[in-house]
Amino acid sequence: MKRQTVVILTLFAMIIGMAALVAVAHGDMPEVITIDKAQAKKAPVVFPHKAHADVNECTVCHHTAKGKDDAQSCFECHGKDPNAPDPSAMGAKENPFHILCRGCHQEQGKGPTKCNECHKG
């Protein structure tokens, strides 16, 4: 009985510890981001950033980052750097946000895939 209690308490402590690490890792991250430069012809997109970060590595979207601490806003490059595609200057099929976000949603079989499901308003 004592051994079972020790095992349960150890597992409980490990779960609490892992939850604390996740909370610290995502503590300074914005809950929601409004993307208003990606497609000038459509309404801004309210992007649930933290919800996506909870299930994906930061480098999935922040493709030039080496990790969480290295991630920067998409628009630090896109729209400023001539070597990075400017989403506001391209059609929906070439837009890197559409390709990444919509493509992932289609691949996962969940999430919005139609224009007005993201561009509300």
Q: What CA–CA distance (Å, rounded) separates 34 from 64?
A: 21
Assign domain 31-118 to its CATH superfamily: Cytochrome C3 (3.90.10.10)
Task: Determine the average pLDDT of the residues in 32-36.
Answer: 89
3-state secondary structure of 47: strand
pTM comes to 0.67
3-state secondary structure of 18: helix
Nearest partner of 45 among 29, 32, 28, 61, judged by Cα: 32
Could you tell me which residues come within 8 angstroms of residue 14 by beta carbon, excluding any fewer than 6 positions away?
none
Q: Give me the pLDDT at residue 29, please.
A: 84
Q: Give me the pLDDT at residue 80, please.
A: 85
Q: Give me the pLDDT at residue 95, please.
A: 86
Angle at the Cα of 21 from the Cα atoms of 20 and 25, rounded to 5 degrees: 120
Could you tell me which residues come within 8 angstroms of residue 77 by beta carbon, excluding any fewer than 6 positions away?
64, 84
In terms of DSSP H, where are the helices of 26-98? 49-53, 96-97
Q: Give me the pLDDT at residue 24, please.
A: 41
The DSSP output letter for 98 is I
Indicate the domain borders of the chain: 1-29, 31-118
3-state secondary structure of 35: strand
